[in-house]
Chains A and B, each alone.
Chain A
């Protein structure tokens, strides 16, 4: 391997000091786990709200069509079943 590459790798990948915060995180169980856990209820709430909004919108928008359909069935005029080709 060329010397310049060896030199660059040694420089760029040199060891570093761990931040003091690491001990606090290890001792407390840490935000790595809790942060992800903390995010999930928010995401779940957002997803639930989005789902509710979508269902609500479909229901509001789709109800006249459904009513129309029910009316057609009640009148017994189902074109697909009662029409001979």
Chain B
């Protein structure tokens, strides 16, 4: 039954990983590395953190591959892993480093003033607005816009209903629209 859900070739690859075949690990890594890294980067917002998250995801994925039963698609399972790594990281940061985080953000903001000449203001504001979303809303936005996942697949990855996904997306869109409204006016006037 699981073989029906999963493409046969991928299922064999998973089984080869379970047997500890090195080439199989590499093939799986090559297949999913960009997707995992993209979600991590767009969620975390900086490359160093994204590398930590992506590494963490693959290490967990390879060590837990025996737990994969094929009840969902393998791709969904991989997305679930990276989503959990992102949210775990955010929770840890929130618990231990709220003040340091704010401090670093303020330092970065000061440094950005110099770089602004070279960088698109539009781009910075959009990313900042996305970054201010709550982790749950931000993750839905990342899965939708970075990975182009359908509502149903996002729901499977996050373990919620498609209705919840739609509602979170709508809330995220409204928040972003409010935060970026001035940008649109400026853009319209220019």
Please list the residues of chain A having a beta carbon within 8 angstroms of any beta carbon in chain B. Answer: 1-2, 4-5, 8-10, 12-19, 21-23, 25-26, 29-30, 32
Contact = CB atoms under 8 A, between A and B. Distances in A.
A23 B62 CA distance: 13
B59 A23 contact: no
Interface in B140-156: 141-142, 145-147
Which of A13, A22, A23 has the most B CB atoms < 10 Å from its CB?
A13
A25 B38 CA distance: 17
Contacts of B51: 19, 21-22, 25, 32
Which of B34, B142, B187 has the most A CB atoms < 10 Å from its CB?
B34
B173 interface: yes
A59 to B, nearest CB: 32
Contacts of B177: 1-2, 5
Interface residues of B, number: 35
Contact of A9 (B29, B41, B126, B184): B126
Contacts of A12: 123, 126-127, 130
B34 A18 contact: yes
A23 B184 contact: no
A21 B52 CA distance: 11
Nearest to B187: A4
Interface of B: 26, 29, 33-38, 41-42, 47, 51-52, 54-56, 58-59, 62, 122-123, 126-127, 130, 141-142, 145-147, 173, 176-177, 180, 184, 187
B59 A9 contact: no
A30 B56 CA distance: 9
B68 to A, nearest CB: 18
B141 A9 contact: yes
A22 B33 contact: yes
Contact of A13 (B33, B54, B62, B145): B145
Nearest to A17: B34
A81 to B, nearest CB: 47
B37 A22 contact: yes
